[in-house]
Amino acid sequence: EELRESLHQDKIDSQNRIQRLAEELSEEVSALAPADAVTKKLLHAFKICGSCKHFERFGEEHDGGYLMCLDGLLNRGRIRGAFSFGVENHDLWSLHIYKALGAPVKQFDCTVDRTAMDCPACRFFKVCL
């Protein structure tokens, strides 16, 4: 029972650290951007408003990899699609999303001519967004 309580507290502590890091990042962006900057306004629109019990990393081991919250998303077919912006010459994220969630992925990048990964349900668009 003590171990279970300890693990539960560790999870809560991790969630609190993630929340603090997100707030610090938001403050750093605010300090760097002019008050009327479009990017600053966009980033302030995104707020962490909950907690996550199941994080998983998708994509490359370093650049191109993202830690994502999968709470409620692990039922294949529940997610109907995903978007990948800036696939460059690597986009393991798209393949991981397709394999884990069964969701087709739309990939966008105007700097390359084709997708970098062989992904059965991925569709590449040579477009900058």
Between 61 and 8, the higher pLDDT residue: 61
Per-residue pLDDT at 33 exceeds 70: no
Amino acid, single-letter form, for residue 120: P
Kindly state the average pLDDT of the residues 72-96: 84
The residues that bridge with 2 in the sheet, in sequence order, are: none
Cα 59 from Cα 42, distance rounded (Å):
24
Contact 52, 15 (CB under 8 A): yes
How do strand 55-59 and strand 65-69 relate by DSSP bridges? antiparallel
| Per-residue tokens: 61 | 């081991």
**Residue 30, beta-bridge partner list:** none
Of 119, 84, 128, which Cα lies nearest the Cα of 98? Answer: 119
In the chain, the amino acid numbered 90 is H
Candidates 42, 64, 76, 72; CA nearest to 116 is 64
73 to each of 51, 54, 56, 76, 100, how far by Cα in Å?
14, 10, 11, 8, 9
For residue 129, is pLDDT > 70? yes
What does pLDDT average to over the chain? Answer: 81
Summarize pLDDT for 60-71 with one digit per residue, the tens: 887 778 888 888
29 vs 83: which has the higher pLDDT: 83
Q: How far apart are the first and last CA of the chain?
A: 51
